[in-house]
Chains A and B, each alone.
Chain A
Amino acid sequence: MNKFRVAFAVSSVVLLIVLAVSPLKDFFREWKRYQLRYDDVISQLPQRINPAEIGIKQIWAQKLDRVDRCTTCHLGLDEKALENAEQPFRTHPRIYHKVEDFGCTVCHEGQGSATTVAEAHGDIEFWDRPIVPPGFMEASCGKCHKEHEVPEAPILTLGRKLIRESNCTGCHKIGKYPRQWVPSLDGIGTKVNRAWLFNWLKNPKGYFANAKMPNFLLTDDEANNLTDFLLTYKSFSNDVQLDSLPTLVTSVTGAQRDKLVELGSTRFREARCISCHPINGRGGYVATDLVKVASKTNVQWIYNYIKNPKRLQPGVQMPRFGFTQTDLAAVTAYIESEFVDYDMKELPPHTPDPGYYEKGLAVLKKYNCTGCHTLGDMKKAEAMGPELTVVGSKSKYEIDFGKAEVEHSLPSYLYAKLKHPRVFSAAMKMPEYEFSDNEAQAITVALLGNTNENIPEQLKIPPTPSGTFDPQGAFGRLADTLACFGCHTMFGRGRLVATNLSIEASQAQRKWIEGYFKIPYSLRPILTERMPNLFLSDLEIKTIVDYMEAVFAADSIEREISIDAATVAQGKLLYYGTYGCQGCHQINLKGGFVGPALDKVGSRLKPGWIYHWLKNPQSFKPGTIEPNNNLNETEARAMTAFLMSLQ
């Protein structure tokens, strides 16, 4: 009997304990401690903040089909007073997206529905999308903002720019990233000398620091065979033959030669070659450095190239200057005598390997040189690296970390791969780009944003399609030979190294445009990329300007502004007294030089354009630093009148 009682007592106690497990477990939930702690934290602040209601909180981001419970512990997201509070209570920075609509995990990743710290942040096995580490946050912007430039995400924007410039698409398919134009290798055997080519293949950055081609870490044998192989390509595409050098370059010596070189130097400066070609790193960024070019390239090739760039390199964005025969010879002679590499490494005597052709071809195939370059009738190789279109969704188990000492996560993998491409296995073929830490970080960010996540169409911001403006006829041919699209944008096509010309004829006066082609003086002294003197004939200028007046116009901004003494005086007062325009613009050598000098602006610009520009500069040039001063009608008219009076 007694035994039975004891058993009954024990089982009752056990039952009681079992029953208590569930409420106790609930009572000691991890998040509850954070909510209590939150009350402690806010009680120490001078302001009164509503204490946390005990309970799970969640955000249902309906459009994205996500449920995030992060706000259960992250309680102070909207409380301005908690800016410096301990985590998880700190204020969220002000962003453009409402947390109620987007939730948390679409940007931050992690496991939204979890309610413990470790599980929510994804620090657990089999959860592939842990919290985005600091410094890589902007990757998530890239999920919806497919536009190349996202002004609010500078790291992402830089990364995308680097992906395009480094021409990663030569080997990897990455969504809709286009392939860059890369010089053709046809005729390379007639263009460069052996020593240069060998040294270049071994280490492009050794030739000049901003070389775009990465270092493929070739062995001496590989580089020798590839060099010998490439040098067999002596003829140019389309059966182009090089014109022979004029006797002026070959036979003239002594004082006459000096005179020729001096003329060449003048033309070289007048044509503003350094707007695009840097010399020893100084100058533009659009084209290659010329500092050692005479030791690299055959003089005959240089002469032919300047004479007609697109004949030797179809697709290159270099204008064909209107040089006379003498000018051409002079510039060639100048380049030949000026840009010599005095430290070029001499190669030891070399006998080609008997099987150099096959071996060289094998090296070329192995490193996919034709991914970027064209060569003979060899087809541009299909992307041979892994496709990176959705690399941001790669799971950890898909990645081979090898024996590298790298944190096993996707961001770390990509970052390490970009910094040291062969760190995971010596058999990898990716070349070394020598990215800086910030650049590698930016590219990683851009790649991480390429996910296969299901984002509703209405939230996606697709890239603006580039324009298809393709002028024909006389102007079209000129635009092609002068490579206008290499710097200018017209109706969405081209680059923005220089001005957008889409409404140029409504902005500037005809006479001024004509004069500018003759002497393209610098409107903004701080710019490095200046308009070259193309040495155009009067007929060519007329053709261009006629076309511009017919096409590059916006009738809606044409406007007559009356210029009488009183209005001009009022405008002057506004210019100097109220809006302090002289802070950035110069008139008569007084004032700043952030914007263009405004001397004689009345004979340069059209009044309608000035009026509309003053009212809203950003509508013409997004991101221009000139502030919108919210001028009223009278003010805008008065200032236009004042500027137009500066003849």
Chain B
Amino acid sequence: MKHTFTLCCSLLILGCSREGIRTPHQTGSDTTVAAGQPSRDMLTPMLTYEQRQGREIYLRYCSVCHGERGGADGFNTYNLDPKPHTLADSAYVAAISDAALTQVIGFGGRGVNRSVLMPGYQWTLNRDRISYVVSFVRVLARNAEIKQ
């Protein structure tokens, strides 16, 4: 009798738990790719929303001096003295906290006792937009690291 009861209970429990914990929804990542089907690799490099926003802002406002990939090789770099610092140097960028990066972008070189040639964007970009740029600058540093 007792055994029957335990058996019934455990059957019930098994019946209730349909699946274990799983990370939901991984569309596109591990499905096989057939002709003409979008896969993760084919899409715009998978950045987070914030990083993508940051990339657009960075390309518009920063890349003329800091370079498209952060290598301090934008077309305007050669007119500047002192030269802008490379952002593709992961050790250098990693040593700067988010708060400090936000400060540089917001107040410009003048605000942190560096070159006045870098303008501050706190009156042009709002706080969210500056934080997007910060997260994209981290991507630049990471990409440079992967390349090495």
Which of A's residues lie within 8 Å of B, judged by CB?
9, 13, 17, 20-21, 24-25, 28, 30, 33-34, 37, 86-88, 93-96, 116-117, 120-121, 123, 131, 133-135, 137, 151-152, 154-155, 404-407, 411-412, 415-416, 419-420, 423, 437-438, 440-441, 444, 526, 577-580, 582-584, 586, 591-594, 618, 623, 625, 627-630
Contacts and interface: CB of A to CB of B under 8 A. Distances in A.
Given A94-B131, A154-B52, A625-B64, A404 B36 contact: yes
Nearest to B5: A13
A9 B2 CA distance: 12
A191 B111 CA distance: 63
A406 B36 contact: yes
B22 interface: yes
B43 A134 contact: yes
A93 B43 contact: no
Contacts of B118: 580, 583
Contact of B44 (A116, A415, A419, A438): A438
Nearest to B129: A152
B44 A406 contact: no
Interface in B4-21: 4-5, 8-9, 12-13, 16-19, 21
Contacts of A33: 21
A526 B16 CA distance: 67
A404 B24 contact: no
4 smallest A-B Cβ distances: which pairs?
A416-B36, A580-B116, A405-B34, A583-B117
A87 B23 contact: yes
Given A24-B13, A28-B16, A580-B118, A407 B46 contact: no
B136 to A, nearest CB: 12
Interface stretch (B53-61, B85-93, B140-148): B53-61
B109 interface: yes
B50 interface: yes
B43 A437 contact: yes
Contact of A117 (B24, B28, B42, B120): B24
Given A437-B38, A627-B120, 5 more contacts: A13-B5, A94-B132, A151-B56, A152-B53, A583-B65
Given A131-B25, A155-B44, A21 B12 contact: yes
Nearest to A405: B34
14 contacts: A17-B8, A30-B19, A33-B21, A88-B23, A117-B19, A133-B27, A154-B56, A155-B44, A406-B37, A415-B37, A577-B116, A578-B116, A592-B76, A628-B124
B110 A24 contact: no
A592 B35 contact: no
B43 A95 contact: no
B27 A131 contact: yes
A9 B110 CA distance: 87
Contacts of A594: 64, 76
A573 to B, nearest CB: 11
Given A134-B28, A582-B117, A93 B124 contact: no
B142 to A, nearest CB: 13
Given A30-B18, A625-B64, A593 B79 contact: yes
B116 A579 contact: yes
Given A133-B27, A627-B119, A93 B5 contact: no
Contacts of A618: 124
Nearest to A576: B116
A623 B37 contact: no
A17 B9 CA distance: 8
Contacts of B94: none
Contacts of B27: 131, 133-134
Contacts of A95: 49
B80 interface: yes
B86 to A, nearest CB: 17
B115 A580 contact: yes
A405 B35 contact: yes
Contact of A28 (B13, B22, B119): B13
A25 B38 contact: no
Contacts of B79: 583, 586, 591-593
Given A86-B23, A577-B116, A625-B64, A135 B35 contact: no
Contacts of A630: 122-123
Contacts of A578: 110, 116
A230 B12 CA distance: 76
Given A420-B36, A526-B75, A623 B60 contact: yes
A440 B24 CA distance: 27
B47 to A, nearest CB: 10
B13 A415 contact: no
A585 to B, nearest CB: 10
Contacts of B18: 30, 116
B39 to A, nearest CB: 9
